[in-house]
Structure 1
Amino acid sequence: MPSLLQRWPATRDALNDRVARSAVGHWFRLEGCGHPLERPGSRFTTEIRAGLVTFASVVYIVALNPSIVSSTGGPCVAAPGVNRATDEAYQICVQEVRQEYIIVTAALSTLATGLIGIFANMPLALSTGLGVNSYFASIVGQYGVGGSVTYGQACGAVFVEGLLFFFLSLIGLRQWLARLMPRSLTISVSVAIGLFLALIGLGPAGLGVVGGDYIDLVGLGGCLPEFQDANGYCESHVLRSPKMWVGIFVGGIFTALLSIYRVRGAFLWPILLVAIISWPRSTPVTLFPHTATGDAAFDFFKQVARWTPLDKLGPQNIDWSGFGNGQVWIALITFLYVDALDTTGTMTAMSRAAGLYNEVAGDFEGSTPAFLADSGCISIGALMGSSPCTAFVESAAGIAEGGRTGITACTTAFCFFLTLFFAPIFSSIPSWATGSTLVIVGSLMAANARTINWDYAGDAIPAFVTIVLVPFTYNIAYGIIGGACTFIILHNVPKMLGRIHPSLLPPGHDTIKEPYSLGMTLSSGGNGLSGWRAFVPPWLRKALSGERHFWKQTDEEIRSTLEGRRITDARTQARASQAAREREEMRATMTQGPQEGGAFKDHDLEAGLRNVRSRNAPQQQSQAQHDEIEKLRDEEEPASPDASSKGE
């Protein structure tokens, strides 16, 4: 009789087929459900596993966000004339606020992630954003002292920001912002997020490999606590932390090996293994050292299940009269543009990674309900005293595991729901357990860099500015702003010079440069619409036209989406095939041996590169460019008949 393990593949396939044919499978468009827009490669069990991986990658926010936001003191008020640091009653209040923020963070994550999974069918996790919660804490100030606004005013600004975002998403303006970005910039955002993830994974919030030196900002870390100064920077003995090495080898090398062999759950199992290794006390890698902080954390961990009522946090804390303060409006505008660029860029990059981005329409499937879910939860979170909600870049871990539908998000939301009752367990996954996973996922996202148009500086430089600014400023929005400003300058200055005289246009402006104009963003991907009809989302166009079932997709919209999928897939495969051909031909060129015997010379490698590029040029450029390349190659490589014959 076959064992359970031997029967599992057949059982799994039967379960996947049964769920795909059910109403659940049809709603989430699993492969085999019969829906015209079913997601290729989506399987129920794969989606569940991907959701667990996503949760394991983002669960740290349940512990990290409360520590950041509670640093403001929240609604706690110290006695007049008493130092807050020595006011025991005030410190107890802050500790209670921090515990309540664990519940708030888990509840908001459950709601937001569940909504985007059910209604937008996106494999994304939403929670309180790290960058924006740091800004929230900074404007209120440490324990409410030194900030530009009060805690209640900050919550009011977040609430209004959510309402504004909801309206902008409803009329399609937020989706238009996604279409407004040029293709190379859109791709560069995903690459930049990959580097950002790697930096987070290597930094103090992950493995702690870097971030141990305040002089060069990213100096080596990983030292033991006794070799750190008062600010946590390493004074000596870097790279000696056992926790760091456990995270590197068990969480990183082991994950990479499982990925090489394509083991299912390659990201999940190492995270769980490192967490289990880190839970016992009296070990060099314990999460609970024998200190006051470690004892408190271990006491909380031992409770396993616990419910904390919200006594201090809630809508009663919002100060609605604060909008007479000009600093509140500055905070509101800052929240607005940071969230607009950060969340929109993250959702676009994640949809591209999941194969849900339509290059023809310049949008991704389910964009309107996704943006509505995000903006609605921003206002709901403000009522609970939370900073704005945003899409998490760590969702890429679940997408890399195979997540393609909202089932991934629903699984993550269910896990967040469990943290409401098991917060002591789920908030005890150490940062070094997920650090290596973030680095590996970052490497997967950085692979998109090969599809950027590096041949034209006007496209390449803005993309590179975006890529470097995101990790170095530790802010996705700043990278997008820097890249967009650079693109505007490099795109419009040559155009204005060309109007003076065509000879002032730079070489390749009409042939190598990617086509882009503002008018292109005001036309909706190949459906023949223009003006305001292309600007607003499809459901709103149908509602304004008097259609009764305006929320349902028409046959024409389904055909347009399928066509967009086919074109996007064809372009993606063409880029991958081109890269594969270049690798194969370079490998063949290098294995032919040097031209004059001995070691390879630089000009041998350059000739090989010219050969590879020129062979692929006809597939990308016009016939006139191809003829010019052939002529130049004949002049530069007269002594290489083999190369010439290959190029024909």
Structure 2
Amino acid sequence: MLEKFFQLKKNNTSIRTEVIAGITTFMTMAYILAVNPDILSATGMDKNALFTATALSAIVGTLVMALVAKLPFALAPGMGLNAFFAFSIVIGMGHSWQFALTAVFIEGIIFILLTMFNIREMIVNAIPMNLKHSISTGIGLFIAFIGLKNAGIIVSNDATFVALGNLSSPAAYIALGTLVLIGILLARNVKGALLIGIFAATIVGIPLGITTIPDGTLVSLPPSIEPIAFKFDFHNIFTADMVIVLFTLLFVDMFDTIGALVGVASKANMLDKKGQVPRVKQALLADAIGTTAGAMLGTSTVTTYVESASGVAEGGRTGLTSLTTAGMFFLALFFAPVFLMVPGAATAPALILVGSFMMSPILKVNFDDFTESIPVFLTVIMMPLTFSIADGIVFGLLSYVLLKLFTGKTKELSPIMYILAILFLFKFFI
């Protein structure tokens, strides 16, 4: 049944490969189960309820991706978007978290409508091929940067912005040692290399004090979402603040999702001859449904995760990968203490190496044409430096349009590219 539904042989994969890929994806993004409640609880929301909402929203979005889009991508409440929810809308602008949840809910509804009318799909397909390759490369650098940061190998520095961390710390020891271990396993073509490395690092981290063994029972019923579910505030939706909040949420979510879909699909050689993501409409619908359901459950915007690249790197090619990931999120509801004990130092090496895997599409770029190579460079470099996939895409697309426009190559620009450029100029300078 699984073979027929997901067409495993046609996609040159197997049940074992897909399951390993799905577990690997989960392990590299399981941190969201701890981080998202911690960030959103700063607004006064119930932290235990947030854990359940985070897991359930990930399950909903990822299941739609698995069963409708049949793609190996996983979804969960997005990093950055959750920080905007807590620290900008609530703490910064002074709104209630109920107001913020309402904005996320409306955003999800709008995205469902845009997806149904193929507007989001048109935007994805309008991105030039070279920029799609650069998005994959930029995301690679971005998630490698996250991995290095999570392990303490690089740290913030007032003088130079970033600097080398304390390599004698236990976390750095574990991360660097695991990096070598996974590298050896990969070189020997060992299946599940990333997952093996993550588990090995988690075990080694116990005597070093990096992995915290939970106290008490390892199995428990998930906390109730009653304190935060369906807590909307529609009294202030017709305000200037709501317009600003909605525009920001729509903009960041759209291009974070587009970046993740295009980047990971490019790395997996899943783009078709036109450079389009297969079943992209269904993939975008999964994002929209996940966001809408997430708001109802009581959490911030749900988006496609770039960590899906770790599962793709393990050979995941179909919806069975994401179905497995959704299953792992379901198990996490009952084994939260077990899954939350995996330290950042254990997942960091996987992110770093996946970043290196995603560099290969850059070889397909024509660097002799400066109207192509300069936008590619800006896309790649701005993602890690701004700590934002969306900003990297903005710089790349805007420079692409301007260079083509002022060098007489307007035939290479679609109407959608002009519209996007105008919106980007509006965002940055008005």
Q: Could you state the TM-score of these two structures normalised by the residue count of structure 1?
A: 0.62
Mapping of residues 441-590 of structure 1, within 5 Å: 441-495=354-408, 516-518=412-414
- 1:67 aligns to 2:11 (yes or no): no
Aligned with 2:72: secondary structure? coil
Asked if residue 219 in structure 1 is aligned to residue 163 in structure 2, the reply is yes
Q: Secondary structure at the match of 2:176?
A: helix
**Structure-2 residue corresponding to 1:286:** 210
Partner of 2:359, secondary structure, is helix
Secondary structure in 2 aligned to 1:113?
helix
Alpha-carbon distance in 2 for matches of 1:516, 1:266: 42
Name the TM-score, length of structure 2 as normaliser: 0.93
1:524-549 residue CA offsets vs partner (Å, 9 max, x unmatched): xxxxxxxxxxxxxxxxxxxxxxxxxx
1:214 CA displacement: 3.3
Q: How does 1:624-635 map to 2 (within 5 A)?
A: none
Matches within 5 A, 1:390-409: 390-409=303-322
The answer for the alignment partner of 1:318 in structure 2 is: 232
Secondary structure (helix, strand or coil) at the match of 2:236 reads helix
CA–CA distance in structure 1, aligned partners of residues 379 and 320 of structure 2: 32
Are residues 1:381 and 2:294 paired?
A: yes
Q: Look up the match of 2:199.
A: 272
Distance 2:170 2:100 in 1: 41
Please name the residue that 1:126 is paired with. 75
Shift of 1:356: 2.0
Structure 1 residue matching 2:172: 3-state secondary structure = helix
Alignment of 1:350-365 (within 5 A): 350-360=264-274, 362-365=275-278
Say whether residues 1:434 and 2:347 are aligned partners: yes
Residue 124 and residue 455 in structure 1: after superposition, are their counterparts in 2 closer, same or farther (change >3 A)? same
Asked if the contact 1:136–1:387 (Cα under 8 Å) also holds between the matched residues in 2, the reply is yes
Q: Does 1:258 align with 2:185?
A: yes
**Separation in 1, partners of 2:343, 2:106:** 35
Q: Does the alignment pair 1:28 with 2:44? A: no
Q: Deviations over 1:542-601 (max 9, x none)?
A: xxxxxxxxxxxxxxxxxxxxxxxxxxxxxxxxxxxxxxxxxxxxxxxxxxxxxxxxxxxx
Spell out, residue by residue over 1:252-285, the C-alpha distance to the aligned partner (whole angstroms, 9 max, x if none).
Answer: 1000010001001111011011112223xxx434
Moved over 4 A (4+): 519-522
Residue in structure 2 matched with residue 100 of structure 1 by the alignment:
49
Structure 1 counterpart of 2:115? 169
Aligned to 1:156: 102
- 1:309 lines up with 2:236 in the alignment: no
Bigger CA radius of gyration: 1
Q: Tell me, yes or no, if the aligned pair for 1:191 and 1:467 is still in contact at 8 Å.
A: yes
Give the direction of change, closer, same or farther, for the CA distance of 1:285–1:244 in structure 2 (3 Å limit).
farther
Q: Distance in 2 between matches of 1:51 and 1:191?
A: 22
SS at the partner of 1:390? Answer: strand
Deviation at 1:114, TM superposition (A): 1.4
Which of 22, 25, 35 is the aligned partner of 1:54?
25
What SS class does the counterpart of residue 130 from structure 1 fall into? coil
Decide which of 152, 158, 169 is 1:208's aligned counterpart.
152
1: distance between equivalents of 2:273 and 2:234? 43
2:173 corresponds in structure 1 to 245
Whether contact under 8 Å (2:214, 2:338) holds in the other structure is: no
- Aligned to 1:428, the other structure's residue is in SS state coil
Alignment check: 8 A CA contact 1:189 1:466 kept: yes
Asked if the contact 2:203/2:211 (under 8 Å) is kept, the reply is: no
Matched letter for residue 518 of structure 1: S
Identity, % of aligned pairs? 32
Picking from 327, 333, 349, the partner of 1:414 is 327
Q: 1:491 to 1:521 in 2, by over 3 A?
A: closer
- Give unmatched runs, 5+ long, in structure 1: 1-22, 32-37, 75-96, 222-237, 289-296, 496-508, 523-648
Residue 110 of structure 1 pairs with residue 59 of structure 2: yes
1:194/1:444 contact within 8 Å kept = yes
Q: Structure 1's 334 and 520: CA in aligned 2 closer, same or farther, altered over 3 A?
A: closer
SS at structure 1 position matched to 2:164: coil
Cα pair 1:110 1:413 within 8 Å, conserved? yes
Question: Post-superposition shift, 1:519?
Answer: 6.3
1:335 matches 2:231 = no
Unaligned runs of 5+ in 2: 419-430
Secondary structure at 1:263 match in 2: coil
SS of 2:303 mapped into structure 1: strand
Residue type of the alignment partner of 1:330: I
RMSD of aligned alpha carbons: 1.8
The alignment of Structure 1 onto Structure 2 pairs a total of residues equal to 417
Tell me how far apart the structure 2 counterparts of residues 43 and 264 of structure 1 sit (CA, whole Å): 12
Greater RCO, CA 8 A, separation 6+ = 2
Shift of the alpha carbon at 1:363? 2.1
Query: Is the CA contact (8 Å cut-off) linking 1:175 and 1:363 kept in structure 2?
Result: no
Deviations 1:323-379 (A, max 9, x none): 13311210111000111111012111222222321132x422221211111101101
Take 2:156 and 2:396, find their aligned partners in 1: how far apart are those partners? Answer: 29
The one-letter code sitting in structure 1 at the alignment partner of 2:332 is T
Cα distance in 2, alignment partners of residues 45 and 358 from structure 1: 26
Q: In structure 2, what is the Cα distance between the partners aligned to 1:171 and 1:516?
A: 25
For 1:352, what is the secondary structure of its paired residue? helix
**d(CA) in 2 for partners of 1:312 and 1:484?**
42
Match of 1:6 in 2: none
CA–CA distance in 1 between the matches of 2:404 and 2:151?
A: 40
